[in-house]
Amino acid sequence: MARIAKSPRFCCCLLSVVFVSQFVERVCGVWPLPQEIQQSAESSGLSPQLFTFTYSQDSAAQAGCSVLDTAFKRYFSIIFPDFTKDALHDMWLEPKAFVLSVSVKTRGCDGYPDEDSDESYNLSVSEGQAVLRSVTVWGALRGLESFSQLVYRDDYGAYFVNKTEIVDFPRFAFRGLLLDTSRHYLPLHAILKTLDAMAYSKFNVFHWHIVDDPSFPYQSRTFPDLSKKGAFHPFTHIYTQSDVMRVIEHARMRGIRVVPEFDSPGHTQSWGKGQPDLLTPCYKGGKPSGTYGPVDPTVDTTYRFMERLLKEVKFVFPDSYVHLGGDEVSFACWQSNPSVGKFMEKMGFGRDFTKLESFYMESIMNITAALNKTSIVWQDVFDYHERIPQGTVLEIWKGETYQTELSKMTKAGHRVLLSAPWYINHITYGQDWRNSYAVQPQNFSGTEEQKKLVIGGEVAMWGEYVDATNLNPRLWPRACAAAERLWSNEEKTLNADLAFPRLEEFRCELVRRGIQAEPLFVGHCKHEFNGL
């Protein structure tokens, strides 16, 4: 019989407890913390040879469900990382079968996660079995991740899991992570590994800031010159259509949405290299200076181009959201251009260039709405008092007064994303993850109805000083603090000191899974990173 014993891993209710055994000290916990978790000291030994995933008879999803079939294989390798069929395991135990049974109410195996996806799940672990129940396959994926974190090994390499009951669901529907692939090109493998780590932390939106001033690596079918002339290199530093499809599918299999950002009218210098007459010519001394500013919002060709590009984006990216940017637009070039001045006079804008930007952004948002896409825009669009179409999502990125901005935006009835306090491309010495952990997204002046309009937030990793060499250690485990804030019950996760042992253990788990997550403080992992 399998050994049922007092385990070195023990967790009671929602407190992190250090439990010392003869051989090893372990901290119990799942990251991010489930809404409800109860564990006992009873543990079952697991044998890789006798461990199986299966679908329960009442499950709408059965064998052939690509999302879960693939997840079973992936999580078997995660739970038993060094297993081979010929290896000897559990030499101190008499092997006993263990079955993890999955029951999903709705099939949905071939679709994509969306803003309404139900990610809730219940997980019950007892002797010889675990039962995972969810409404959707996306909830089942979150439950499989939690189960994988419950499994641990003793000093002899034997596997165990404690008796556990979990009831879990996310606090916010939108839990995003932004990668900037324009300022430094990120190879495909770096993006895919980031998606893996996102799934481990239960992030569910990949915000792909795919193009910007420095480069245009997206290879457009409609406008191939954009990457041919705007990328750092037209062959080695681009994302082909097949690359994009691979990212979207890799994300789908992990329950992650892919939301692209094509930021305009500013941040478009690379666009102009492959699209003549798109950018505004700048003037000096009454003559063209040879330099260019933002997109020219005064000519019809601009809107015809944007409509064709956004139609392609709709076809390539299946998610219902698209990020349109709208931030940090310099007005100097517009101010210098006589044709822009005449257009301003004709429209009655005077010399208020915020009205010109508003005119452009309103036009682009209307194009997007006509394509049945939901626009996300940066807060500048709201700050310039633009007429924002119903349903548009506003994203706050300016850090000083984000609580005031939350109050204003939600009072105006808009849905809001918060990213301002989670710009973790900014680094400081020490445990700066604690700053991210202390953020309270709904702690602002407003009614309960206003606070419901905060649909989530995201971590931003801008690329001025980040490429594939330092992406993972800068992201992880620092991004995990926001992951827990966006998933877990805030009242039960306000104490960073209590969270530290659990995050420290999760960081080691990321390292074991091949993620180069940086240390939180002095210490060691049982399985140090060996991927170099």
User: What positions carry a catalytic annotation?
Assistant: 328
Backbone angles phi, psi at 142, to 5 degrees: -65, -35
CA–CA dist 61, 128 (Å, integer)? 23
Q: In the chain, what is the straight-line distance between the N-terminal and C-terminal CA atoms, in Å?
A: 41
Contacts 24+ apart (CB under 8 A), 170-173: 170/119, 170/120, 170/142, 170/202, 170/204, 170/486, 170/487, 171/486, 171/487, 171/488, 171/489, 171/490, 172/441, 172/454, 172/455, 172/456, 172/457, 172/486, 172/487, 173/115, 173/116, 173/117, 173/455, 173/456
Question: Which among 212, 214, 219 is positioned nearest to 188, based on CA atoms?
Answer: 219
Residues 432/469, Cβ–Cβ less than 8 Å: no
CA–CA dist 51, 73 (Å, integer)? 12
Q: What tokens appear for 409 in the block?
A: 């935006």
Half-sphere exposure of 188 (CA within 13 A, CB side): 16
Residues 417/395, Cβ–Cβ less than 8 Å: yes
Residues 178/189, Cβ–Cβ less than 8 Å: no
User: Around Cβ 184, how many Cβ atoms within 10 Å?
Assistant: 21
Question: Which among 299, 455, 472 is positioned nearest to 391, based on CA atoms?
Answer: 455
Residues 484/146, Cβ–Cβ less than 8 Å: no
**Can the peptide bond before residue 260 be classed as cis, meaning omega within 30 degrees of 0?**
no
User: Rounded to 5 degrees, what angle do the CA atoms 333, 336, 338 make?
Assistant: 120
Question: Which among 268, 260, 277, 276 is positioned nearest to 312, based on CA atoms?
Answer: 260
Residues sharing a CB contact under 8 Å with residue 250, sequence separation 6 or more, in sequence order: 192, 195
CA–CA dist 514, 532 (Å, integer)? 10
Q: Going along 326-418, which residue ranges are E strands?
A: 374-378, 393-396, 415-418
Single-letter code of the amino acid located at 131: V
Residues 367/303, Cβ–Cβ less than 8 Å: yes
